[in-house]
Structure 1
Amino acid sequence: MQLSIIRRICLERIMNKMPTAIDLFCGCGGLSLGFQKAGFKIIRAFDNWDKAVAIYNKNFNHKAELKDAYDITPKYLKSFNPDFIIGGPPCQDYSSAGKQDETLGRANLTLRFAELVCAAHTDWFVMENVDRILKSETLPKALKMFKNAGYGLTQVVLDASLCGTPQKRKRFFLIGELGGRDNAIKKIILKDLAAKNMTIRDYLGREFGTDYYYRHPRSYARRGIFSIDEPSPTVRGVNRPIPKTYKIHPGDATKDLSKVRPLTTLERARIQTFPPTFQFEGSKTDLEQIIGNAVPVELAAYVGKHILAYLNTPKSYKEFDMEYIQLELKFD
């Protein structure tokens, strides 16, 4: 019967096709590169920062468009026929590194992401943000929008250092499946977390040529000297030399400042797990911010791989198949 054909086509689409994705708020491409590495085909990207878009377009075969999120229409997104919309709306209004003030306007871009996804009605979406979004007033509004549009939602906070990245960076991921079950993907994402935090040495060996480095603290009540035998703290958009007045903190990895140096801009990109072949261009100030804003490539790849694993497990195949069998029985 006709419904059997529809069922088979839908199953083949999920099981055999490389999923396509559009990246909103793409920045320089950390999320795109990770999902591409996982097995997705990124077909378009968008951001409104020209410096970040220029870097993106130097490194990918598909195009990133310089466009404000409010100038993107659902109809235009639909024209690419994507399976997924992925993206990391700006987090500064939630971030501990920002002002934590949702009235500044950037929090509204989370709602704009939700509006575009719900109107485009893609089969899936993935939204990334800082874990502090869980305490926001904006997230519940976005969740309500997604639920009203028919998405089953999985919420998870991941420590990047347990997901193939040498950095203690906690990030929130919201994964939506149209017509899916809530938390359907949570178990499969969490089951492969590493048993221990990845260190810089674990990931890069002796690439930096130093055992200790300086990372400018937010206040001098915090330490500023770290070892490559531990995960890096979160890479932020600030990278400064060691102040001449720096006083040794009890938690510093060494008290011998002669063994310590700040990391270079490109070394910080390596901690964000961008490959050495990734091409960066622009001023140091812009690059520090662009790299600090990026989603770590390996963290994105971890999420992407586990979404694909979910799609390709026999269990998900049977559950998806059973829904269509029940529909056939209903219409027989």
Structure 2
Amino acid sequence: MRAVDIFSGCGGMSLGFEQAGFKVVAAFDNWKPAVEIYRANFTHPIYEKDLCDEDSVETIKELRPDLIMGGPPCQDYSIAGKRTEGARANLTIRFAEIVAGVLPEWVVFENVYNIERFGTLPRMKAMLKDAGYGLSSRVLDASRCGVPQARKRFILVGRLGAEDGFFDESFVEGMAEKQMTVRDYLGDKLGTQYYYMHPRSYNRRAVFSVDEPSATIRGINRPIPENYKRHHADAAAIEDGVRALTTKERSYLQSFPEEFKLEGAKTSVELAIGNAVPPALAKYVAERVLKYENGVEQ
């Protein structure tokens, strides 16, 4: 199946879909640092393009995708910032406009789990339903889908001519019963039992053990502050050999493989990693789509 990745970021979704067996024919994004990382890791083209341009639908239609996937920038929904619906939220609507204009057989949409609190999502769903798609959606815990990270993401899957809820069972049929820990995924590769991840606020813990899933990887990576005061839920004291993770190690926790190249300025690379769809989560969804498609064909 041919897939096009829109609002692709540095390529987490593309990588997972390729690993599952899709032929990703092109990607589109408008943030240069992510485009450069994507370009360094894939042989198919990525276009640095504003998808609000009028010619976007025709450009994508010429690629004849069986599936369009994407995760439009979500900062305006994110719990990491103010809960507002600004210009970025309109990219969710633009995603639906592109899908409705191209009409691929399948659509996969990914976003922050709390997008369900906002009015943009029902508008997007209504546009896709009007275009003929049956829809299923679920908040998935990445740590039950092959990622060593307690990251919750909203996934919507649509198929032309299907009934709403058609994919509900597929979402859960391969889900692990227990959360994947960092040690489950990496063994002793980090060379440390405990590590520091800078919290959103100091009301939250910041020290984790490799024998649990990591916290959500965000777009910033800061060293341990000299005056850090231990949180009651920290897995260890800083003095117990705790260290911050490198950029590359954070990419592992997002399930990017060793060979994935992270080129560019450190702050941009960190942001690209934090914004990415974990490839293993994308692969989990992609495998279920293929299984459903093959079951329908037989």
| TM-score bracket for this pair, using the shorter chain length | over 0.9
Match of 2:186 in 1: 204
Aligned counterpart for 1:278 among listed residues 252, 260, 271: 260
State percent identity of aligned pairs.
54
Match of 2:297 in 1: 317
* Superposed CA offset, 1:109-164 (max 9, x none): 00000000001111111010011111111001101101111100011110000000
| Aligned counterparts of 2:183 and 2:268: Cα–Cα separation in 1 | 27
Match of 2:152 in 1: 170
| Aligned counterparts of 1:191 and 1:91: Cα–Cα separation in 2 | 28
Aligned counterpart for 1:239 among listed residues 212, 221, 224: 221
1:238 partner SS: coil
Could you tell me the TM-score, scaled by structure 1's length?
0.88
1:256: Cα distance to partner? 4.6
| Aligned counterparts of 2:256 and 2:191: Cα–Cα separation in 1 | 18
Letter in 2 for 1:317: E
Tell me, yes or no, if structure 1 residue 179 matches structure 2 residue 175: no
Match of 1:23 in 2: 5
| Aligned counterparts of 2:239 and 2:281: Cα–Cα separation in 1 | 32
| Aligned counterparts of 2:143 and 2:72: Cα–Cα separation in 1 | 22
1:36 partner SS: helix
Tell me, yes or no, if structure 1 residue 99 matches structure 2 residue 82: yes
Aligned counterpart for 1:130 among listed residues 94, 106, 112: 112
| Aligned counterparts of 1:78 and 1:255: Cα–Cα separation in 2 | 55
Where structure 1 has 5 or more consecutive residues not aligned to the other structure, the ranges are 1-18, 319-332
Tell me, yes or no, if structure 1 residue 50 matches structure 2 residue 32: yes
| Aligned counterparts of 1:115 and 1:256: Cα–Cα separation in 2 | 50
| Aligned counterparts of 1:105 and 1:32: Cα–Cα separation in 2 | 25
Letter in 1 for 2:274: G
1:257: Cα distance to partner? 2.4
| Aligned counterparts of 2:147 and 2:156: Cα–Cα separation in 1 | 20
Match of 1:142 in 2: 124
2:47 partner SS: strand
| Aligned counterparts of 1:266 and 1:166: Cα–Cα separation in 2 | 15
Aligned counterpart for 2:207 among listed residues 225, 240, 247: 225
Where structure 2 has 5 or more consecutive residues not aligned to the other structure, the ranges are none
1:165: Cα distance to partner? 0.2
1:98: Cα distance to partner? 2.2
Letter in 2 for 1:170: K
Letter in 2 for 1:75: E
Tell me, yes or no, if structure 1 residue 109 matches structure 2 residue 95: no
| Aligned counterparts of 1:184 and 1:37: Cα–Cα separation in 2 | 24
| Aligned counterparts of 1:200 and 1:21: Cα–Cα separation in 2 | 31
| Aligned counterparts of 2:132 and 2:238: Cα–Cα separation in 1 | 58
Match of 2:56 in 1: 73
Question: Size of the alignment, in residue pairs?
Answer: 297
RMSD: 1.0
* Superposed CA offset, 1:235-284 (max 9, x none): 00011111111111110101252410000011000101111001111111
The structure that has the greater radius of gyration is 1
Which has a greater percent of helix? Answer: 1
1:189 partner SS: helix
Moved more, 229-238 or 64-73: 64-73
Match of 1:4 in 2: none
Match of 1:61 in 2: 43
